[in-house]
Amino acid sequence: MTTPSAATAAPTSHPPVSGASRLLHPDPTVRRLARITLLNTVGSGLSLSVGVLFFTRFLGLSAGRLGFALTAAGLCGVLASVPAGRAADRWGARPVLVALVALTGLGTAGYTLVDGYPAFVALACLVAAADRGAAAVRNALYAEVLPADKRVAGRAYLRVVTNVGLCLGTGVGAIALQVDSRAGYLTAILADAASYLAVAVMFRRLRVPGWPGAATGAAPRADRAVAAEGAAEGPAGDRRRNPALRDLPFLVVTALGSVLALQFAMLEVGVPLWIVQQTDAPRITVAGTLIVNTVLVIALQVPATRGTEHPVAAARACGRAGLVLAASCLVLGLAHGAPAALAALVVLVGVALQAGGEVLSQAGTWALSYDLADERAHGAYQGVFNAGMSAALMIGPAVVSTAVIGHGLVGWAVLGALLAGAGLAMGPAVRWARRRGAAPA
């Protein structure tokens, strides 16, 4: 899709600001998206903090049954991303996003009414499919409403807002955990559902100056016409084909980005298990690792995007990320056998390195997901890219828990080598993509 330049042209200068206003993004479109993101992630943090306990204690699910349901839901999320992205190209990112976000909200509310395991599995699959599909379409919407040279920086700002929102939501969820009652858990889940429905309304009312019909909230019809025209080009039947699935260099870049995304399972699953099972560090260190990661990501994500405007520079950022993540793995492995206080310090240093690799890899892969895409088919490309990330999030916990935990420093070294290899391979993959003409001139 072509991006309506007038819609998102940021002011060339801004009056001096002070205090809290310095935290606000200068682009009004990004500020609107930030408000939507904050509401959505506060609700998500609230639900995430109570979900597992509600499902196991009040719905009566065993850990094994819950794990199977969440794995099935994750697979549905992977499968939903590609068709959701194609739908965004065909009907426009905003109406598709509104529908998927609203469906996620209704499905989330349905958890409070579900009765029986088959119904729970079906509902979990529906919610995951709608949520992951919405993630792909949301990224396509960013390509639609933000100019090309502002997309990655805008996403970085929104990711900072995401972390702030999740922290706030988790803090509120702690109250429900302390109350520890069915009514408290139900309230938290319904609040999350309400936040999704409110976000759907906010996306429906999103106004971007310069969109055709902006005054009435109409989607950019001209952009959809261009996309449809581009989709119709080529041999008969090409319109039904997904261009991203036929773009081999882009698929390789997506696969390498998915390998780098294993770092999230490393942080969320591997590090807690490592602390509790293989080190003498105090258990409270688990909470400390999340705090260190969150604070550093909030502080570093926006600066990490600087200099990633060009595909080659973005690939170099991924290469640096892979090396930093490999160093993080090696440091974490050294915590085994160390005294408690030293083990805790080593783990926190390792997580600090992981946060550095995280912000670099996110900045690099975001840039590549846009720069290597056809401007007329961002929905298709973001759908494929998001499917790769969703697949990594689905299989990551199993990979980290079985291949790393219990194998000591060797296990961490193997994971580090995998991450470093994926990051360094981005350079040749991007050069291949540019030779094939996949990247814009």
> For residue range 73-105, what is the model confidence (pLDDT) as tens digits?
999 999 999 999 999 999 999 999 999 999 999
The pLDDT of residue 256 is: 97
Domains of the chain: residue spans and CATH:
27-235 (1.20.1250.20), 243-435 (1.20.1250.20)
Token digits for 366? 């975001």
Q: What is the C-alpha separation between 164 and 49, in angstroms, rounded?
A: 15
pLDDT of 295 above 80: yes
**Helix H segments across 305-335?**
311-333
Q: Residue 22's CB: how many other CB atoms inside 10 A?
A: 8
**Given this model, what pLDDT does residue 2 score?**
32
Tokens of 15: 């009056």
Cβ burial, residue 180 (10 Å; 0-12/13-18/19+): exposed
Tell me the C-alpha distance between 380 and 137, whole Å.
Answer: 9
pLDDT in tens, 172-199: 888 887 787 888 889 999 999 999 999 9
Number of DSSP helices (H) and strands (E) in the chain, helices first: 16, 0
Kindly indicate the confidence band of residue 209, based on its pLDDT and cuts at 50, 70 and 90: low
Give 296's Cβ-side CA count (13 Å radius). 19
Given this model, what pLDDT does residue 240 score?
64
DSSP 329-342: HHHHHTTTTS-HHH
In tens, the pLDDT along 320-369 reads 999 999 999 999 999 999 999 999 999 999 999 999 999 999 999 999 99
pLDDT one-digit tens code per residue, 406-422: 888 999 999 999 999 99
Query: Would the pLDDT of 123 be above 80?
Result: yes
Are the beta carbons of 47 and 111 closer than 8 angstroms? no
